[in-house]
């Protein structure tokens, strides 16, 4: 059996998959990947189910060493410098580590989370149908906590399949789209306009439970307490201090602060990738527009297999060079007819 050993890793890195949908009614938070598209892309590169468990790597660097045999991996999400035993590799592509080789990843650039999928998946005992880690609840497998140096991720030996890359649409810097509600009536039209017209930043104190926003104070009309009701990924609560909090996959299943708006499904992963301190804005769309974008997002996930391409070998191919006429006109030193010019 092969395994990938964590040689070094920073905080905010854990095993995540598609989460635990359908369990929120029992008070069980869904957890799962912050960026489902990046998770699915990494898994597609190595032939796994799109939402299979992978390593969600936070903003800091990490290193993994193959033991017991070769291990094939797929990398997607926030780009970062990457190499295997000193050989540079590209993101949004697959690569194979020989036994004893180490994959080294630098700091994330232009995002917060990268995904390392392992061919054949990560072995673990599902908890409520998922390996996704929720450290606060003590859920997840093979470790119900963030990954630490020395942890081992067991898997099957690499298949030897040809390496692939995947072409994904550019994320861009467009405003994060929201649908107002369900408690936007707790805020004045002026407050909602301020919410849309302002520039926001994500606080460094944010985590997988919620992203705290830094910006203007959003005032309530009649206090900040409501009867607790259900939450979803992207619910934007406004507590008593008027500083919005966007709820993330490890959120509570219900909350008692008014929710001024909700980040649409199609933009949630892009929002989750916004680095702390980077400015961004919100844009309101209708429910019909949000549903149409959700359908497009699902179509994008289904199309990932069609976006895979082989990685061409740009190394020196001696046989190809020998057989090719790279000079345009080849000559032979022992065949005068190829180089002597006939005199009329």
**What's the confidence (pLDDT) of residue 332?**
53
Say whether both 59 and 185 belong to one domain.
no
- Is residue 308 classed as helix, strand or coil in its secondary structure? strand
- Is residue 294 classed as helix, strand or coil in its secondary structure? helix
**What's the confidence (pLDDT) of residue 329?**
52
Q: How do beta strands 176-180 and 282-284 pair?
A: parallel
Which domain covers residue 257, as residue numbers? Answer: 176-302
**What's the confidence (pLDDT) of residue 267?**
97
Mean pLDDT, residues 26-34: 93
How many C-beta atoms lie closer than 10 Å to residue 175's C-beta? 13
Split into its structural domains, the chain has a count of: 2
Say whether both 127 and 47 belong to one domain.
yes
Q: How far apart are CA 45 and CA 95, in angstroms?
A: 9
The CA distances from residue 2 to 45, 86, 328, in Å, are: 19, 21, 49
Grade residue 227 by pLDDT with cuts at 50, 70 and 90.
confident
Say whether both 148 and 63 belong to one domain.
yes
Grade residue 224 by pLDDT with cuts at 50, 70 and 90.
confident
125 backbone dihedrals φ, ψ, rounded to 5°: -100, 110
> Of 138, 166, 194, at which residue does a domain stop?
166
Q: How far apart are CA 116 and CA 242, in angstroms?
A: 37
Q: How far apart are CA 207 and CA 247, in angstroms?
A: 10
Mean pLDDT, residues 159-170: 93
- Each residue's pLDDT tens digit, 278-319: 999 999 999 999 999 999 999 999 999 999 999 874 444 444
Looking at the domain assignment, is residue 335 inside a domain? Answer: no
Q: Are 23 and 76 in contact (CB under 8 A)?
A: no
Say whether both 205 and 141 belong to one domain.
no
Looking at the domain assignment, is residue 171 inside a domain? Answer: no
Q: How far apart are CA 64 and CA 300, in angstroms?
A: 30
Grade residue 337 by pLDDT with cuts at 50, 70 and 90.
low
Mean pLDDT, residues 219-231: 90
Radius of gyration of the chain (CA): 25
Q: How far apart are CA 278 and CA 292, in angstroms?
A: 28
**What's the confidence (pLDDT) of residue 326?**
47
Q: Is the pLDDT of residue 146 over 70?
A: yes
Q: Look up the CATH number of the domain holding residue 230.
A: 2.40.100.10
């Amino acid at each position: 059996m092969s395994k990938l050993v964590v040689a070094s890793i920073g905080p905010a890195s854990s095993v995540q998959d598609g989460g635990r949908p359908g369990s929120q009614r029992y008070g069980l938070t869904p957890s799962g990947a912050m960026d489902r598209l990046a998770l699915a892309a990494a898994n597609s590169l190595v032939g796994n189910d799109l939402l299979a468990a992978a390593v969600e790597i936070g903003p800091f660097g990490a290193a993994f060493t193959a033991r017991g045999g070769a291990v094939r991996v797929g990398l997607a999400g926030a780009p970062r410098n990457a190499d295997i035993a000193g050989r540079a590799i590209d993101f949004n592509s697959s690569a194979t580590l020989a036994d004893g080789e180490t994959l080294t990843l630098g700091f994330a650039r232009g995002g917060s989370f990268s995904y390392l999928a392992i061919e054949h998946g990560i072995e673990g005992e599902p908890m409520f149908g998922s390996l996704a880690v929720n450290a606060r609840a003590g859920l997840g497998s093979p470790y119900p906590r963030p990954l630490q140096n020395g942890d081992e991720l067991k898997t099957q030996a690499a298949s030897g399949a040809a390496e692939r890359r995947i072409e994904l649409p550019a994320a861009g810097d467009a405003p994060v789209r929201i649908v107002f509600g369900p408690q936007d009536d707790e805020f004045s039209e002026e407050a909602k306009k301020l919410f849309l017209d302002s520039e926001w930043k994500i606080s460094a104190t944010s985590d997988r439970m919620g992203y705290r926003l830094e910006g203007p104070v959003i005032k309530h009309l009649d206090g900040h307490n409501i009867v607790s009701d259900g939450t979803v990924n992207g619910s934007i609560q406004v507590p008593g201090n008027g500083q919005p909090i966007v709820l993330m996959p490890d959120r509570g299943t219900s909350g008692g602060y008014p929710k001024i708006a909700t980040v649409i499904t199609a933009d949630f992963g892009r929002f989750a990738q916004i680095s702390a301190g980077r400015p961004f804005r919100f844009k309101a769309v209708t429910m019909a527009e949000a549903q149409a974008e959700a359908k497009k997002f699902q179509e994008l996930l289904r199309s990932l297999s069609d976006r895979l391409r082989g990685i061409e070998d740009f190394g020196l191919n001696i046989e190809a060079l020998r057989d090719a006429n790279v000079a345009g006109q080849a000559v032979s030193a022992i065949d005068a007819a190829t180089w002597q010019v006939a005199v009329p």
